[in-house]
Structure 1
C-alpha cells in the first residue's frame, strides 16, 4: 500500500514598489481599488469577514471566488482564504518597508499535486495582478 502525497505548493511573487506601505495597503484593502487591479468584490479588512471576488463567468465556472479574511495587520500583513473550483488556498500579502519604498510579497499556498492547472493559472495570474496593483498604487495621491 502506498501513501498518497499530501504535500502542497505555493505560488510566491515578490516585487519592490517605489511607494510607502500605507499607499500599498490602501490598494490592498479598499474595495474600489481592489476592483481596479484584481476583481469586483465586497471586501472589508476585518478578520472573519466573508467576501467574494467576482469576474465574468467562463465555461464551466461562474467566476466567483469565495473568501474569508484570516488576518489583518495594517500596513504589514493581509491574509484571506481563496476558494474556487475545488481549490482551498490562502493568499497572504506581506509588506516590508525598504529604503526605496515597499517590498510586496504575495503567497498563495495550498495547491495539491493534483491541482497543476490551478497552480499554473495562479502563477500567471499573480504576475498579472501584481502589475495591476503597482499601477493602481502609482495613481494614488
Structure 2
C-alpha cells in the first residue's frame, strides 16, 4: 500500500458548535474530572497536565477489557486541550478492535460566546469502522450533553 493510500484511510470525527459561554467556563468542564464525569464518563487518574495518563472504563469486548487509555498531549488553557484515546485489542474485529486516536478540543471566542470544535482523529478504516461509526454518533450526543452540563453548573 502506498503512503498516500495509508493516509487516506485515516478518518476523523468533527463536531463544531457555538456555546453561549466564555472559554473559561467551557475549559473548566473539559478539564475537571468531576465535570467530565457528568457529560462523558468518569475518568480515573485525570489531571489536565501534559504527560498525565488516565483511563475511562466502557463495555468490554473479546480480548479487550473495556479500558480506554488516555494521555494528555497538549494543554493551552482556555484554547486547546488534546489527549490520546487508545483501547481495544489486535485480536478483536469490529467493536473492541485496536484503536489509537487523538481527541482535540479547540475553543475560540466568537460574538455569540465560544466556538467549541472537537476533532477525534486517527481512525484507521476499515479496521476501526465500528468505532468510527459508533463514536461519530456518540460525540454528536456527548457535545450537547456538555453544553447542558455547563448550563446547569452556571
Q: TM-score, normalised by structure 1?
A: 0.92
Instruction: Give 5+ residue unaligned stretches, structure 2.
Output: 89-97
Residue 94 (1) aligns with residue 97 (2)? no
Residue 117 (1) aligns with residue 117 (2)? no
Instruction: Give 5+ residue unaligned stretches, structure 1.
Output: none
RMSD: 1.4
Q: How many residues align?
A: 139
Q: Highest relative contact order (Cα 8 Å, sep 6+), 1 or 2? A: 1
Confirm or deny: 8 A CA contact 1:23 1:140 kept in the other structure: no
| Aligned match of 2:94 | none
- Give 1:74 deviation, angstroms: 0.5
Residue 25 (1) aligns with residue 27 (2)? yes
Q: TM-score, normalised by structure 2?
A: 0.85
- Give 1:58 deviation, angstroms: 4.4
Output aligned runs, 1:1-141, within 5 Å: 3=2, 5-7=5-7, 8-41=10-43, 42-55=45-58, 57-60=59-62, 61-85=64-88, 86-114=98-126, 115-141=128-154
